[in-house]
Structure 1
């Protein structure tokens, strides 16, 4: 049996480990290139496997290790601007070397943190040397309002020692009477009000006093105004649904404590957002987290799908008349895979799918029934005016599918197909699946289930390279997204890097049609406005078919 055949049995293990693994055979051809290697090195797996190793990584020492038979441990090297630590070993069969293997991990973030820590220590030392001898009392706080330093003069003037306030927030010291309202406190307040990227966009366009309308509380998303969308040249408009609640929600509630805001939605899912520099709500609880059996499951109180005000129909009529494509982006709950974790918790739900499917199926079937009722209400108001609807069900993670493709195919997608068939019976409507992460392994089944569009096309995830997606699936599904990597390039790259990647992705995805440009996901607070404008200008310059 040759080496290539032997590794097939180990492939799932290789794909599951966190460290990158690369192996070559005696002919110097790459025979293993796992998902972690693809992510760390930013090299598509399809480009690496079968190629000569030196054509994939020019400065590798795998060939030398194979030829000399000498192991090479814990060596630092740089590949594609990433610092990695690598160990390499020859692969022996009896007394013959038949290849070599490298196992490595990315240490770029560790080195950056180490450098930041060293820099902080130097700055702190210099700052202490500057303000220490001064006669004026001086207190220093960081950007979050945490006291990090106070000179001797301040301690002598107030009689307060550093142990009493260093490490505390200025708000706490105000409450305790140690100080009056400070410039630091006002700066912190100012920062907390201007923490979302949309404000940067409004500032760029010189738009003041725009009334914001929240469309998603946990993600803190707002509707972009028609004025902003017109300035950006967007040719799609989403309806702002005007729901008519069908009775009082059993679960919905908002509250707060000293440190956090809390929100519980109609499904009993609890979210929490820190008051200090919080940007989003994080998952903090669920309705059936302690449920143990079917009897406990029956305690869940289903929300009733909203109905909608007929007055909202005119909005889509006006958009249609103005020539815009129209979409409904709201859904009833999450998808058939991802609603369960928000009610039972992730660990419980994923375990139930495998060990107790008899508890999951009744819930999924009831959810399908409720979703159909939701779309009855949607089309009762907006029928004939909707080009695209959307269902959200995250099948992917950074490295692969959330659960096995087989489980998705056999247990989840049949319900999506029933729902998609029902929606399409209402009229000529295209359906988007919003599914983050690496979904390539499930894409044939997603297409078979009747989805027309994939969003957000997370190109930084494993096996989600634009070339691979377009070549394998471009004739069968539309890609809505994938315009720019929002995990690294958009927040951390230079404007020129943003321009280059945007143009490259557009050239790949737009060929022969089937592409709607957008960034991979929500544009967050850490994105420089210069990078957004670089993306936008590149799109405007290349958006004509």
Structure 2
């Protein structure tokens, strides 16, 4: 059974020959560059710098030799865009704070400030105020909120959305088509299309790290409050985003066709450790109609499965997710309230594909012993993998400070029990 066939069976809730594995197909299923460098060494692969393809989170590009060594079944289809607006190309050397050699995009600022911090700039334009900061000794960037004063009585959705969303250009579509063709012809892995146009209110994008001068509400705290205080404003932004998305989906389909099996729709987080941080009522009023419109089009016009990433305890919203046609949930935060693998599989195993939940990244992977990790992985595979509907992945991205022996234990356990 090829990787593509294996993933297809899992997506159709049929048990494949073995559990499929994802590492690095998206910006929420990856591994930080420092950890990836050490994993490469543990696997005995060529000693070379890892490319940091997503500089906001400092994620490493998982190259083919790693995919082959681990038996990864999924590969991502992406363009070269980054959160900061400069492209992931024109690579140059850089050394992480922990001494790891990497390659970063040409637009990445490598000159530390007086306090040792690294600042990143929108579109790599250092004449602008910085939009991201990696503190000295840190592993990734924090967003710098650049919210200008605003008048509550004249908040303009068009002003907020104008620079955030656009219809695909011919050049962008040609790039996607060429990359989809190459991945489909040159690998047997399933392809995840990193579209993301249905991420309404995705807090990673709200600060506008790539914008020279973000307009409107850009503070994280103010944004969440705005869903209650200024619902017409937020809904107006979503309506513009939906309009652009509905123009882009047919173009995306024309470019990639059925070469992709999965489309990344949304990365908007709705859950915290103990439950959603918005009420089910607010989700139904503010988000649900937009999710349904996106999913309805995808299911009516393609064979793609819809991928939704949201951290935290999501059991209070999974019923709504089912009603709007979400196929795949990620990262399956098994340490959150009500999110135990057994409870999820029993209640939602026939409805959702669980893409994640393979290993807890809050406590187990960074702090557990190799023996504990082995048993943890074995148990999760035995529960979530039964009958299909499971793609093994860590709970969100694997962090830089994970001990090497724990990385080895994770993937050795997966290979043994998949």
Fold shared per TM-score above 0.5: yes
Q: CA deviation at 1:273?
A: 2.6
TM-score by length of 1: 0.58
Helix, strand or coil: the match of 1:285? coil
Q: CA deviation at 1:510?
A: 1.0
Q: 1:320 aligns with which of 174, 179, 184?
A: 184
2: CA distance, partners of 1:468 / 1:339: 29
Partner residue, 1:511: 386
CA contact (8 A) 1:340 1:349 kept: no
Q: Which structure has more RCO (C-alpha within 8 Å, separation ≥ 6)?
A: 2
Partner residue, 1:476: 351
Q: Do residues 533 (structure 1) and 408 (structure 2) align?
A: yes
1: CA distance, partners of 2:60 / 2:245: 24
Q: Do residues 198 (structure 1) and 198 (structure 2) align?
A: no
Higher strand share: 1
Q: Do residues 432 (structure 1) and 272 (structure 2) align?
A: no
Q: How many residues align?
A: 344
Partner residue, 1:485: 360
Q: 1:236 aligns with which of 74, 78, 82?
A: 74
Partner residue, 2:153: 293
TM-score by length of 2: 0.74
Q: 1:387 aligns with which of 261, 265, 273?
A: 261
1: CA distance, partners of 2:201 / 2:389: 26
Q: Deviations over 1:22-51 (max 9, x none)?
A: xxxxxxxxxxxxxxxxxxxxxxxxxxxxxx
Q: Do residues 407 (structure 1) and 263 (structure 2) align?
A: no
Q: CA deviation at 1:490?
A: 0.5
Q: CA deviation at 1:507?
A: 0.9
CA contact (8 A) 2:33 2:60 kept: no
Give structure 1 stretches of 5+ with no counterpart.
Answer: 1-193
| C-alpha distance 354-211 of structure 1, shift in aligned 2 (>3 A) | same
2: CA distance, partners of 1:424 / 1:211: 41
Give structure 2 stretches of 5+ with no counterpart.
Answer: 1-31, 88-106, 208-216
Partner residue, 1:350: 224
Q: Deviations over 1:73-121 (max 9, x none)?
A: xxxxxxxxxxxxxxxxxxxxxxxxxxxxxxxxxxxxxxxxxxxxxxxxx
| C-alpha distance 316-242 of structure 1, shift in aligned 2 (>3 A) | same
Q: CA deviation at 1:203?
A: 1.6
Helix, strand or coil: the match of 1:397? coil
Q: Deviations over 1:205-250 (max 9, x none)?
A: 233454644332211112210111111100111124256xxx999x
* 1:220-231 map, 5 Å: 220-231=58-69
Q: Deviations over 1:140-166 (max 9, x none)?
A: xxxxxxxxxxxxxxxxxxxxxxxxxxx
| C-alpha distance 470-492 of structure 1, shift in aligned 2 (>3 A) | same
2: CA distance, partners of 1:214 / 1:526: 16
Q: CA RMSD in A?
A: 3.0
CA contact (8 A) 1:220 1:279 kept: yes
Helix, strand or coil: the match of 1:293? helix
Partner residue, 2:239: 365
Partner residue, 2:200: 335
Q: CA deviation at 1:421?
A: 1.7
| C-alpha distance 295-329 of structure 1, shift in aligned 2 (>3 A) | closer
